[in-house]
Chain A
Amino acid sequence: MSASLEIQLLAVLVAAACALPGVFLVLRGTAMMADAISHTVLLGIVLVFFVVQDLQSPWLIVGAAAIGLVTVTLTELLQHTRLVKQDAAIGLVFPALFSVAVILISRFARGVHLDVDAVLLGELAFAPFDRLIVLGIDVPRALVTIAVVLIANIAFISLFYKELKLATFDAGLAATLGFAPALLHYGLMALVSITAVGAFDIVGVVLVVALMVTPAAAAYLLTSDLRRMLVLSVAIGVLSALAGYWLARLLNANIAGAMATMTGVIFLVVLVLAPQRGLLAKLVRRRRQQADFAATMLAIHLLHHTGAPTEAEEARIDHLERHLDWQPGYAARVIRHAERLGFIKSIAGHLQLTPTGYAKAQEVLAS
């Protein structure tokens, strides 16, 4: 496999692995936790590294997961004092733990292959050089790690799908039914931690956060079904990763940076264009409501003057503009819309209420 293909495959797997737990973080309103955990796992890695003196040891994952849970616990403890809110608690805990890790690295681990730049931006471009023979096949080491992490994510979420859904939607009911939402919560956070460890080595902390939060947030705007949201989140993550890779090639820029940019770009596109919840859809809906309301108002106006001596006068289009204080252009648009809705007919400059329009006006007035 060429290095280019390998890098793209890595990027795709990282994106998929991050997008899955990201869905639950977004739904629980704890997206900031992704930020916190993906930073503090570094401390876990450093501490375990001091003990085992090996950057390839699987114990690094265990240590990172443990620190991830410590982060969550500390944050929650701070929050329970009721002295600070959750966002502030996160903001207090993770820089503290992260900076300890940074100090430890710069003071004691210099010279070792563990540097702060790589932590922030990853070294995706160099990943293909560190290789491993698995089942007789020569593959990049990072590919093996991230494949294992992705499988762990898929396994955990499909195994506990029902329980995670319930605990996320209604933790109270989950608890009364005996589903231990706290345990699931920590399980999920452990999953986020190992995903962060597996991924940040490759793409760096910043992209880990972007890949966890952004695709899930975009998927949330696109569907109202949890299963579909999981699938879409993965799809959007993968798309961002590939688009980012090619953008980086094009601009000869940092791959992780380009990928993070693409998650943002795709999110923006979704935010504007999402069929139901997008900004454009909302705008169109608001416009339509306004138009419907104006058409109904017109129907009511005509109803009020039906049968009155002034009927012919009131129903004249030019009179309407004066009487309802509508701009000429606006009045014409409302009339067209009301005609389309079948509320009125215009005959030689005079408006006439149809039976439909009559019924509509009556209905609104009665309610």
Chain B
Amino acid sequence: MNPALEVTDLTVAYHDKPVLWDVDVTAPAGILMAIVGPNGAGKTTLMKAILGLTPVAAGSVRIDGKSYTQQRQRVGYVPQRGSVDWDFPTNVVDVVTMGRYGALGWFRRPGRREVDLAMHALEQVGMHDFAQRQISQLSGGQQQRVFLARAIVQDADIYFMDEPFQGVDATTERTIVTLLKQLRGDGKTVVVVHHDLQTVAEYFDWVTLLNVQCIASGPVGQVFTEENLRRTYGGRIAFVERDALATGGMALRSFAPAATAGGAD
């Protein structure tokens, strides 16, 4: 079977400044994978390069054995919440319906069926009551849920999410985690840019540690080690609790405050 995602020798540079150096990442199907690394490590760039949104200097990306353009319909993308203008004149259900545009293709208009799918997805993220709400009136956590609902209606096989946990409260975080596990249960692969090192072992199966280069990538139990974290973050990593690391086994904790490394941008 093909790996769900195979990134080989990927190098991306903005002008002459390399942002990703020779990155290799392979992810089998049906896993939740976190991408972690300090600010400016190139996490967003890696996602954009995989999705063809940023030109690459070298290397290749395969999604289930084929190039991205051949697999468009099977890939879902949840950009960083701040990447769009939330004052745009539209409402929640309309934004979620946009997730169906890819399946509709050019010219075909969304209809009853698309709206039904959108409403169903909104129910899944607990935003059913907000369907007709103007998007300018949503809180950060609600915006994130709307984006997730939009990803659900895409019904993709592999998802890329850029910091879905950024600035959400504990309840929303739990909703999102439940949803991610549900997607995995349906056999989907989910790749998530994540900032909270404390919860990596709890939420994810695989992890990629990135800092311009790929420091390590593999099952959390094998690669999420103190040594690798030190290499990713430099000296700034003293505060990850031991039990959140691979060597300490699975952590069972309530929602701890965000890790000191990284932090929201």
Contact = CB atoms under 8 A, between A and B. Distances in A.
A113 interface: no
Residue of A29, A161, A175, A228 contacting most chain B CB atoms (<10 Å): A175
Interface in B73-118: 75, 77, 79, 83-85, 88-91, 95, 98, 101-102, 104, 106-107, 109-110
Interface in A167-184: 168-170, 172-173, 175-179
A224 interface: yes
Contacts of A172: 48, 53, 77, 79, 83
Nearest to B105: A178
Interface in A227-271: 228-229
Contacts of A98: none
Interface residues of B, number: 28
B98 A166 contact: yes
B72 A224 contact: no
A168 B88 contact: yes
B91 A224 contact: yes
24 contacts: A27-B88, A159-B107, A162-B101, A163-B101, A166-B101, A169-B85, A169-B88, A169-B90, A169-B95, A169-B98, A172-B83, A173-B150, A176-B53, A176-B72, A176-B75, A176-B77, A178-B69, A178-B72, A178-B102, A224-B134, A224-B136, A226-B89, A226-B90, A229-B89
B79 A224 contact: no
A176 B156 CA distance: 12
B20 interface: no
B106 A176 contact: no
B190 to A, nearest CB: 16
Contacts of B79: 170, 172-173
A29 B87 CA distance: 12
A221 to B, nearest CB: 10
Contact of B98 (A159, A173, A178): A173
A176 B161 CA distance: 13
Given A177-B72, A229-B89, 14 more contacts: A27-B88, A163-B101, A166-B101, A169-B95, A170-B84, A172-B83, A175-B51, A179-B101, A179-B106, A223-B89, A224-B89, A224-B136, A225-B90, A226-B90
Interface residues of A, number: 25
A220 interface: yes
Contacts of A178: 69, 72, 102
A226 to B, nearest CB: 5
B77 A220 contact: no
Interface of B: 48, 51-53, 69, 72, 75, 77, 79, 83-85, 88-91, 95, 98, 101-102, 104, 106-107, 109-110, 134, 136, 150
B83 A170 contact: yes
Contact of B89 (A161, A166, A173, A220): A220
Contact of B84 (A161, A165, A169, A226): A169
B117 to A, nearest CB: 15
B1 to A, nearest CB: 24
A161 B104 CA distance: 13
Contacts of B77: 172-173, 176
A180 B136 CA distance: 26
Given A175-B53, A176-B53, A163 B106 contact: yes
A179 B77 CA distance: 14
A166 B102 CA distance: 11
Contacts of B69: 178
Contacts of A170: 79, 83-84, 98
Interface in A204-231: 220, 223-226, 228-229
B52 A175 contact: yes
A165 B79 CA distance: 17
A220 B89 CA distance: 8
B89 A177 contact: no
A162 B110 contact: yes
A191 to B, nearest CB: 17
Contacts of B150: 173
A193 B83 CA distance: 28
B90 A224 contact: yes
B24 to A, nearest CB: 22
Contacts of A162: 101, 104, 107, 109-110
B148 to A, nearest CB: 13
A176 B72 CA distance: 7
A231 to B, nearest CB: 12
Residue of A172, A175, A228 contacting most chain B CB atoms (<10 Å): A172
Nearest to A226: B89
Interface in A20-56: 27, 29
Contacts of A161: 109
Contacts of A220: 89
A126 B223 CA distance: 78
B88 A177 contact: no
A169 B91 CA distance: 12
B101 to A, nearest CB: 6
Contacts of A225: 89-91
A177 B102 contact: yes
A53 B40 CA distance: 57
Contacts of A168: 88
Contacts of A29: 85
Nearest to B76: A176
Nearest to B15: A82
Nearest to B134: A224
Contacts of B101: 162-163, 166, 177, 179
Contacts of B83: 170, 172
